[in-house]
């Protein structure tokens, strides 16, 4: 998801990039609870008829599913913020707060799109400046990446005037 905000004078643009989320934390916990209820009911029914080894494996399955859902949800809450002003370009990446930050002079920065070698692979958007190449929007769909590149070029042209 791409959100673009601008100041009233149109001299500062903020672009917020976030992946599309299919679930929030509340529904993912409901999903884990349903899986746990199903596994434990099957595990306890086998336990009562004498198959005692089923119950530890049911618990292990619940733990593995919970860990996988946690990592998927953690990845879906990452965020990238790009701030463009006439002088500076600032990129911040992180989950709840900026964990990595880069700041460049806007006039020395370039937006590059690396097209894939095969049609199945996604394109990569890079911000290049002073020998550094920072990938942005790696979690975006191809359509969102195309729109982002168009909007970034429009904003840069607007700031260059």
Helix axes 25-48, 54-76, angle to 10 degrees: 170
Q: How crowded is the C-beta side of 72, counted as CA atoms within 13 Å?
A: 15
Per-residue pLDDT reduced to its tens digit, 83-140: 888 888 899 999 888 889 999 888 888 888 888 888 888 888 888 888 888 899 888 8
Q: What is the mean pLDDT of residues 141-155?
A: 86
What HEC string does 49-104 produce? CCCCCHHHHHHHHHHHHHHHHHHHHHHHCCEEEEEECCCEEEEEEECCCEEEEEEE
Higher-scoring residue by pLDDT: 11, 99: 99
**Helix (H/G/I), strand (E/B), else coil: 46:** helix
**Does the structural domain 2-20+80-160 have CATH classification 2.30.29?**
yes
In the chain, pLDDT over 70 holds for what percent of residues?
98
Higher-scoring residue by pLDDT: 156, 24: 24
Q: What is the mean pLDDT of residues 6-31?
A: 85
- Going by pLDDT thresholds of 50, 70 and 90, the confidence category of residue 10 is low
Domain edges within the chain: 2-20+80-160, 25-76
């Amino acid at each position: 998801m791409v959100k673009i905000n601008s100041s009233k004078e149109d001299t500062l643009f903020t672009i917020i990039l976030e992946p599309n989320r299919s679930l929030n934390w509340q529904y993912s916990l409901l999903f884990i609870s349903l899986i746990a209820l199903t596994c434990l009911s099957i595990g306890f029914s086998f336990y009562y008829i004498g198959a005692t080894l089923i119950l530890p494996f049911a618990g292990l399955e619940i733990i593995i599913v919970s860990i996988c859902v946690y990592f998927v949800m953690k990845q879906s809450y990452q965020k990238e913020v790009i701030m463009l002003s006439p002088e500076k370009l600032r990129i911040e990446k992180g989950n709840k707060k900026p964990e990595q930050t880069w700041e460049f002079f806007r006039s020395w920065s370039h937006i590059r799109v690396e097209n894939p070698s095969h049609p199945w692979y996604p394109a990569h958007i890079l911000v290049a400046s002073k020998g550094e190449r920072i990938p942005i929007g790696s979690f975006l769909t191809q359509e969102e990446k195309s729109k982002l590149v168009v909007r970034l070029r429009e904003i840069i042209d607007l700031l260059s005037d």
